[in-house]
Chain A
Amino acid sequence: MTVVTTPGGSATGLRMAARVEHAVKVYGSGDTEVRALDGVSVGFQAGRFTAIMGPSGSGKSTLMHCAAGLDTLTSGSAHIGDSELSGLDDRRLTLLRRDRVGFVFQAFNLVPTLTVAENITLPLDLAGCTADREWVDTLIETVGLRDRLRHRPAQLSGGQQQRVAVARAFAGRPDVVFADEPTGNLDSRSGEEVLNLLGRAVRQMDRTVVMVTHDPVAAAHADEVVFLADGRLVDRMESPTAEAVLDRMKAFEVRS
């Protein structure tokens, strides 16, 4: 196992793009109390493509939301790079998301009133800084949507929309891109394209991607898979294959 779960990864030469420690997230209270995260500690290494897997209700989406600063932990800590998230107010969290985190959601990723080009540079425009033209050009080339720049999202297919979302997620060169079931609404071919894009961004452009999925085929695109069940980290797998992941998942179901 090469994943380092101790803080200060840089000391060992491995830089953590994002990590959570002893993360606990509790929804509700009393009888209706749900422990979505029950003491998870995990780091996501920079320059790697990590998939988070687990059955429904395992807490994988919650883990992503808390790690990305979309949600706050009940206890424990979450970091993006060297920044501790728990002490940040809404404004600082927003700025952190804008400048250092990228997002690809399952659906409804794009603002319908903006063109493709405007959607890609949206976080940069919100920050009021000018985009790095060369970098954005490279991204547009990579996702293959140069001829669609002036189109509106409604004029694109679902797969094309997700590719725009991927380009947007990387536009500001964030520390880490979180993808939440990015292929959940796509047919397998379009899904494959999106996953390849994510993989290429990590391997050729030295980006970091953390992806939540329940699809073993999608998970197989990652460098490593971490498995969650009942709010706990239960296993990790290096260089996963779809079969291996599927087997692992089946094992959970048998056990539970």
Chain B
Amino acid sequence: MSGDSHDHDHHSNDGAVHVHVHDVSFYLKVFGGLIFLTVFTVATSYLDIDGLVRPGTPHGAGGLNFLLAMAIATCKAAFVCTWFMHLKDDARFNALFFVGSVLFAGVFLAYTLNDTYYRQHEDRYQGVHVDPSTGERAPGGLADIGGSCEVPANCVSYNCEAGRCAEFVVHHEGGEGHEGGEHGEAAAEGHEGGEGAEAEAPAAEGEHGAEAAEH
């Protein structure tokens, strides 16, 4: 709270709001810094920094351009938060709140990327796929990240992108209706609804027939 000008000269226990008013020139300097960093980041985007540091690296493969751009953006964000948004002058608790949200966004990003990036990848230390209990690739993730799309034997319609089975082989033998997933349950509900068994069976078959034609 030291510096150029205060809007109150009273003692600080009078319950009024006392803030440090910065000079216009101070805000202009912060703005100048922001503009400089903007021009700088655009300029560096025309350079192939990976190629300069280690000749022969494909453009962008080393990630140095990306790291520099993010470092500059973070500098700019820090300028805006600290001075324009007055976090420096504010109660520290506000800064804690805000920085906390950024950290949690970081946790969200890190854990999600760790998950999606390593799905389907073989764990080279253990020689198993990510899902060790089945020995198959863990469901989900993006099909294009390594590996091929293997359709499980008990699956009629397999969604490779989602890595899950949309429709399992249906066993019509008694008691196994639930293996049919949604269809099995639908049939069971129909039964409870009191409809005749003769009417139910052809209806269910017709439904499967229509879906098979779709696939």
Specify whether A and B are partners.
no
Interface residues in chain B, defined as those with a beta carbon under 8 Å from any beta carbon in chain A: none
